[in-house]
Amino acid sequence: MKSWRLIVFALVGLAQLAVPASLIWKREQTLRHGRVWKFRTAPVDPVDAFRGRYVALQFDAETQEISPPPNAGSGQTVFVTVRQNPEGLAEIDQVLANAPTGDDFIEAKLAGKTVSLPFDKYWVTERDAPAAEAAYFAQSRRDKRNAFVIVRVFRGDAALEQLYLDGLPLGEYLRANPAK
Amino acid sequence: MRAADRSGIRWLLAELPELVAGGILSAEDAAALRRHYSTKDPGEPRRIGFVLSAVLGSLLIGAGIILLVAHNWDCLSRPVRCAIAFAPLALSQTLAIFVLLRRNESAPWRESAAILNVAAIGTAIALVSQTYQIQGDFARFILVWMLLALPIVYLFRTSVGLAIYFVGATVWVLSSKGDAFLGASPNDLWVWPLLLLGVPAFIALLRENRNGYGTLLTMTALAVAAACSLGQTDGIGAQSFWRGSFAGFWTVVYLVGAAPFKDWRPTRPHPFVAAGWIGIVSLAIFLSFQDSWRSRQWQNAVDLIPRHYPDLLAAGIQIAWVLAALLFAAYALWKDRGRANLAPAAFAPVAIIAWGIAKRTGNPLLPSLLLNFFTLVLGLFTLLRGIRAGRAFEANLGMLVIAILAIARFFDSEFEFFVRGVAFIAIGLGFLVTNLVVFKRRAGA
């Protein structure tokens, strides 16, 4: 009686451990082997009650008009390849219905004539969140475009590595420009 | 001994000295009664308190862990944060194994271990996501969490855990469209298998303790989940048929409380009776307005006999609710023999007939008249039942239904103030006379 419960629980327990472990594994692969891209941001902000505070991000690339694959509707998963523009920033190259060969593509959602990139939140500490939000707004106004993120891309997965404000990683920027 | 009887026993024991003094009972009889009632069920109340505090404690600890996680320590390195993410999960698993081995017979231990474990699963996924800036969509996070929690519900036979599972399924079906909280997608139909996965555990719970608070909590969670899922399903299937499917739903809710099951909270009304009354009367009043039957969807070819599979499946689920209500009502009629008021259960067939008329004729007048008639008869029947049995509460409930119907009619018709005034006076007099009659009868009896 007891032993079957234990065996079942052992399996369930393994599954419970496997889910977060697989998340870590996949992300580590991307961070290790992924290609680096710079995405310039454009502005917003809510609070996600479940996962602490974050800075809500939007990107120039998300306002770029693209030609969607035939028969693809809004909200559908698409595969996006990226190219570098003269400023060294990423912009969307192709939007495909099926995964291309190679490692350098992102899985994203189609949003009409644009794509919605799968990274739109940058989590920060509760303590830093208000300062980070203010700094992010200050650096991504229409007249002052100094915010971008570094993203590593590997086989569909896109790992948001760091948010840069005025050329500095968020943490360093906040230390260099303490809130008045 | 039933939990609900305990206050009665306390009352009886307190009355005994007076009864002996008045010569109604002999001292020996009183002593025998006292012995008989005080030896039984000493552990019950303490057990409920213990379960309650254990569950509350576990919930608080679980919520505390989640808040700590939300604080997001970025001074720690990634591996350290990952280790922290896994710590509550590993600890809760250790506790769970201990409970399975040593405390499997204790409900408080099982409930607490299960809740902590379920909270730890969500915490681990959320903290890893935060550490690695993994975005993932919210609905998927909830789905994975609930699927991992489900085996725990079965292993630990936990009522609170099962309630959490049903709530999770509800959150999933409501958030599965991504940003748009309202509106339905065919994917939402998967919520039914998701709910069905929890049903065997629910039946086991009913078998074990029909009138327990945990069972009631779980039942409420299941009812809310079913209502939300049915709302989504109505958006996919025959859209105008929501009137029928929700009539079926509220009828089922009412009957769950009112139907005569064995050992079913016999000493006081089940909370589902109240919920059923509120649902049935609200929907019946809403459908008694002509405007609620004016719909462009009557002409929709997809209506009721859809051509595609998800629509067809959804329509099947809608009809299944109506059938369930009808079968359940038939069962209750067969078993009850006049003890409970089964008139509200007539709502499901009435709503279906009204829907059929509206569908066929496209005329909103007939169905709204039918619903007016039903609500009036329901009120009158309940009123007379209450008067006949000398139950003031039931008689007033019947009057209340009639009064709500009358007020509703004033909203959509252009009666003169004089007519309205007379009608309100009549209803007020009705209340007074009803109560007078009931109390006189009671005094005379």
Is the pLDDT at B180 greater than 80, yes or no? no
Is the pLDDT at B200 greater than 90, yes or no? yes
The span from the CA of A32 to the CA of B69, in Å, is: 26
Per-residue pLDDT tens digits for B231-250: 888 888 777 888 889 999 99
Q: Quick one: three-class SS letters along A10-33?
A: HHHHHHHHHHHHHHHHHHHHHHHH
Residue range B60-85: average pLDDT? 72
Identify the bridge partners of residue A176 per DSSP, sorted by sequence position: none
Per-residue pLDDT tens digits for B102-121: 888 888 888 888 888 998 89
Q: Which of A51, A127, A153 to mutate to test the interface with B (most CBs of B within 10 A)?
A: A51
Q: What local confidence, expressed as pLDDT, does residue B267 receive?
A: 55
Residue ranges of chain A whose CB lies within 8 Å of a chain B CB: 2, 5-6, 8-9, 12-13, 15-17, 19-20, 23-24, 27, 50-53, 75, 109, 118-126, 128, 159-161, 171
Angle at A8 between CA B129 and CA B120, to 5 degrees: 30
Is the pLDDT at A46 greater than 70, yes or no? no
Query: Is the separation of the CB atoms in A120 and A57 below 8 Å?
Result: yes
Residue B252 pLDDT grade (very low, low, confident, very high; cuts 50, 70, 90) = very high
Q: Does the beta-carbon distance from B132 to A27 stay under 8 Å?
A: yes
The span from the CA of B199 to the CA of B220, in Å, is: 13
The span from the CA of B388 to the CA of B391, in Å, is: 8
Q: To the nearest 10°, the Cα dihedral for B259, B264, B270, B276?
A: -30
User: Which positions ≥6 away from B177 have C-beta within 8 Å?
Assistant: B139, B183, B184, B185
Instruction: Give me the sheet containing A77-84, strands edge to edge.
Output: A90-96, A77-84, A106-111, A114-116
Put simply, whether B121 touches A (Cβ < 8 Å) is yes
Helix (H, G, I), strand (E, B) or coil at B23: coil
- The identity of residue B342, as a single letter, is L
- As a whole number, the mean pLDDT across chain B is 81
Please report residues of B whose CB lies closer than 8 A to that of A13. Answer: 93, 96
**Residue B129 tokens, joined:** 């996501």
Per-residue pLDDT tens digits for B87-100: 888 888 998 898 88
The span from the CA of A121 to the CA of A52, in Å, is: 11
The span from the CA of B64 to the CA of B148, in Å, is: 21
Backbone φ, ψ for residue B40 (5° rounding): -85, 150
Which of A61-70, B93-102, B135-144, B328-337 has maximum average pLDDT? B93-102
Percent of chain B surpassing pLDDT 70: 85
Please report residues of B whose CB lies closer than 8 A to that of A17. Answer: 86, 89-90
Minimum-distance CB partner of B70 among A6, A13, A51: A51
Put simply, whether B101 touches A (Cβ < 8 Å) is yes
Q: Which of B132, B171, B175, B176 to mutate to test the interface with A (most CBs of A within 10 A)?
A: B132
Residue B407 pLDDT grade (very low, low, confident, very high; cuts 50, 70, 90) = confident
The span from the CA of A124 to the CA of A137, in Å, is: 15
Residue B330 Cα, gap to closest chain A Cα (Å): 40
Q: Give the count of beta carbons closer than 10 Å to the beta carbon of residue B418.
A: 8
**Residue B76 tokens, joined:** 């720690």
Q: Give the count of beta carbons closer than 10 Å to the beta carbon of residue B443.
A: 8
The span from the CA of B258 to the CA of B245, in Å, is: 20
Burial of B18 (0-12, 13-18, 19+ CB in 10 A): exposed
Residue B237 Cα, gap to closest chain A Cα (Å): 21
Search chain A and give the residue with CA nearest B66. Answer: A50
The span from the CA of B386 to the CA of B137, in Å, is: 53
Q: Give the count of beta carbons closer than 10 Å to the beta carbon of residue B15.
A: 14
Please report residues of B whose CB lies closer than 8 A to that of A171. Answer: 74
**Residue A170 tokens, joined:** 């968020």
- Quick one: which of B107, B386, B344 has its CA closest to B248? B344
The span from the CA of B247 to the CA of B352, in Å, is: 8
In which element (H, E) is residue A122 found? strand A121-123
Query: Is the separation of the CB atoms in A123 and B133 below 8 Å?
Result: yes
Q: Give the count of beta carbons closer than 10 Å to the beta carbon of residue A179.
A: 10
Q: Does the beta-carbon distance from A2 to B132 stay under 8 Å?
A: no
DSSP state, B137?
A: -
DSSP string, A44-98: -----TTS--EEE-EEGGGTS---PPTTPPTT-EEEEEEEE-TTS-EEEEEEESS
The span from the CA of B10 to the CA of B16, in Å, is: 10
pTM of the model: 0.79
The span from the CA of B77 to the CA of B216, in Å, is: 45
- Give the least confident one: A11-25, B67-81, B272-286: B67-81
Q: Does the beta-carbon distance from A123 to B133 stay under 8 Å?
A: yes
Minimum-distance CB partner of B132 among A23, A75, A126: A23
Q: Does the beta-carbon distance from B96 to A9 stay under 8 Å?
A: yes
Is the pLDDT at B301 greater than 50, yes or no? no
Please give the distance of CA B439 from its chain centroid, rounded to a whole number: 33
The span from the CA of A174 to the CA of A164, in Å, is: 11
Q: Give the count of beta carbons closer than 10 Å to the beta carbon of residue B185.
A: 15
Strands (E), B15-71: none
Per-residue pLDDT tens digits for B313-325: 888 888 999 999 9
Which of A79-83, A176-180, B77-81 has maximum average pLDDT? A79-83
Query: Is the separation of the CB atoms in B130 and A52 below 8 Å?
Result: yes
Identify the bridge partners of residue A78 per DSSP, sorted by sequence position: A108
Q: Describe chain B by its helix, strand, coil percentages, rounded to 5.
A: 80, 0, 20
- For residues B149 and B303, the model is more confident at B149
Search chain A and give the residue with CA nearest B119. Answer: A16
Query: Is the separation of the CB atoms in A88 and A116 below 8 Å?
Result: no
Residue A48 pLDDT grade (very low, low, confident, very high; cuts 50, 70, 90) = very low
Per-residue pLDDT tens digits for A84-113: 888 888 888 888 888 888 888 998 888 888
Bridge-based pairing state of the strands A157-165 and A168-169: antiparallel
- For residues B149 and B43, the model is more confident at B149
Q: Does the beta-carbon distance from A23 to B128 stay under 8 Å?
A: yes
- Which residue pairs, CB below 8 angstroms and at least 24 apart, start in B171-175? B171/B142, B172/B139, B172/B142, B172/B143, B172/B146, B173/B225, B173/B228, B173/B229, B173/B232, B174/B228, B174/B232, B175/B138, B175/B139, B175/B142
